[in-house]
């Protein structure tokens, strides 16, 4: 299996680190080599890229060495699977959208952690992959290391998915669970979360519910057979929640969580009261998801929604799935 890695941020570097454990990874991927690694400013291309060198170069200089662009690599380098791990832009989907299209057109499988292209053009990409007889996998886009997409598609194959309800953003959950326990204001906890690197400098993408809504769009389209856009989601964030709201909720045995929910009649993200006994009441940066099905009943899962190596785990599971179901790899 010849692998090209596009994007060398936290996820790309996490994947590279995991792929360096060749003995372990070859048990699930068979023979493999990384034939290209690229970020927005440079790349390394060879029959077998030295991942340790790539990581060292990136760490020292903040970029990869000058070389072919991603587009040039897609045109000129032979690979079986592209890992599209560039940053998310949910408005244009770029640059991931163009990368994914060109890779699928070329007949390469694609594994992505990039929500943007899927939010913008899931149906189109899915049709293109089917037409070309290749796989488009995106476990890492929703829930990080928490099994979600393949859990529903494979482990619950044959079930009708009636609804999904979940906590899909670890930053919000971290802020809310600290507000619950420490009775501090949203602003105070947010400031601390930024210091700890749990919230980004520009936090709005997370705390306004945009990230959760993007993930919900992916779930709705990919595992519930819907055809919805980001604009179809009713979105509310957590910025207006007060310590007093928590006090009142806790008195009655509830807490507050940012819940994303999809069913035939609903597609929304917003703060909800959650019973303290409800397994959805997870703490810290964890993600959680309740899947209502007709045969299996309720299936509930909790996992780490973010993190470099955790997200790499999801990417590797997609690669392993492609390999398990492709005779030619």
CB under 8 A, 24+ apart: contacts of 175-179 = 175/199, 175/207, 175/238, 176/238, 176/241, 176/255, 176/256, 176/257, 176/258, 176/271, 177/255, 177/282, 177/283, 177/284, 179/241, 179/243, 179/246, 179/256
The mark string for 101-140 relative to a second copy (x by CB under 8 A, - otherwise) is: --------------------------------------x-
Say which residue the tokens 């690669």 belong to: 319
Question: Any catalytic annotation for residue 215?
Answer: yes
Residue numbers 238-297 binding a second copy by CB under 8 A:
279, 282, 293, 295-297
Q: Using the rule CB under 8 A, is 226 a contact of a second copy?
A: no
Q: How far is the CB of 263 from a second copy (least distance, A)?
A: 18
Q: Determine the size of the site formed for a second copy (CB under 8 A).
A: 44
Catalytic residue among 58, 101, 150, 215: 215
Q: How far is the CB of 129 from a second copy (least distance, A)?
A: 15
Q: Does 206 bind a second copy (CB under 8 A)?
A: no
- Kindly give the pairing relationship between strand 161-167 and strand 254-263: antiparallel
Q: Give the helix/strand (H/E) hosting 273.
A: strand 267-275
Q: Which of 68, 273, 320, 329 binds a second copy (CB under 8 A)?
A: 320
Q: Which of 306, 311, 314 is nearest to 197 (CA)?
A: 306
CB of 194 to a second copy, least distance (A): 23
- Which is nearer to a second copy, 264 or 327 (by Cβ)? 327
Cα distance between residue 84 and residue 8, in whole Å: 10
Q: How far is CA 222 from CA 200, 215, 218, 227, in A?
A: 28, 10, 6, 9
- Report if residue 147 touches a second copy, rule: CB under 8 A: yes
Min. distance of Cβ 11 from a second copy in angstroms?
Answer: 13
Percentage helix, strand, coil for the chain under 3-state DSSP, each rounded to 5:
45, 20, 35
**Nearest distance from residue 161's CB to a second copy, in Å?**
12
- Which residues sit at the interface with a second copy, rule CB under 8 A? 18, 24-25, 28-29, 139, 145-147, 150-151, 154-160, 279, 282, 293, 295-304, 307, 309-310, 312-314, 316-317, 320-321, 324-325, 327
By annotation, the residues acting in catalysis are: 215
């Amino acid at each position: 299996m010849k692998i090209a890695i596009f994007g060398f941020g936290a996820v790309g570097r996490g994947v590279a680190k995991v792929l360096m454990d060749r003995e372990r990874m070859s048990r699930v991927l068979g023979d493999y080599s990384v034939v290209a690694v690229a970020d927005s400013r440079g790349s390394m291309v060879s029959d077998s890229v030295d991942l340790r060198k790539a990581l060292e170069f990136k760490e020292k200089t903040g970029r990869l060495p000058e070389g072919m662009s991603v587009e040039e690599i897609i045109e000129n380098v032979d690979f079986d699977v592209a890992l599209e791990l560039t940053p998310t832009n949910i408005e244009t989907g770029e640059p991931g959208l163009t990368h994914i299209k060109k890779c699928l057109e070329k007949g390469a499988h694609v594994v992505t952690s990039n929500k943007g292209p899927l939010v913008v053009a899931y149906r189109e990409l899915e049709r293109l992959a089917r037409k070309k007889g290749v796989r488009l996998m995106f476990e890492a886009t929703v829930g990080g290391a928490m099994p979600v997409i393949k859990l529903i598609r494979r482990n619950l194959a044959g079930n009708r998915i009636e609804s999904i309800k979940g906590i899909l953003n670890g930053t919000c959950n971290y802020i809310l669970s600290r507000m619950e326990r420490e009775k501090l204001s949203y602003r105070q906890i947010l400031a601390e979360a930024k210091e700890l690197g749990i919230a980004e400098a520009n936090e709005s993408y997370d705390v306004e519910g945009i990230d959760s809504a993007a993930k919900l769009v992916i779930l709705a389209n990919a595992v519930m057979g819907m055809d919805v856009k980001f604009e179809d989601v009713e979105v509310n964030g957590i910025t207006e929640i007060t310590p007093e709201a928590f006090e009142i909720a806790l008195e009655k045995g509830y807490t507050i969580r940012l819940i994303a929910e999809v069913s035939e009649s609903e597609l929304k993200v917003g703060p909800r009261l959650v019973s303290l006994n409800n397994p959805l009441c997870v703490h810290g940066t964890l993600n959680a998801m309740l899947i209502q099905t007709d045969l299996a009943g309720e299936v509930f899962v909790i996992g780490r929604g973010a993190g470099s190596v955790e997200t790499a785990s999801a990417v590797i599971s997609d690669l392993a799935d492609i390999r398990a179901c492709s005779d030619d790899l």
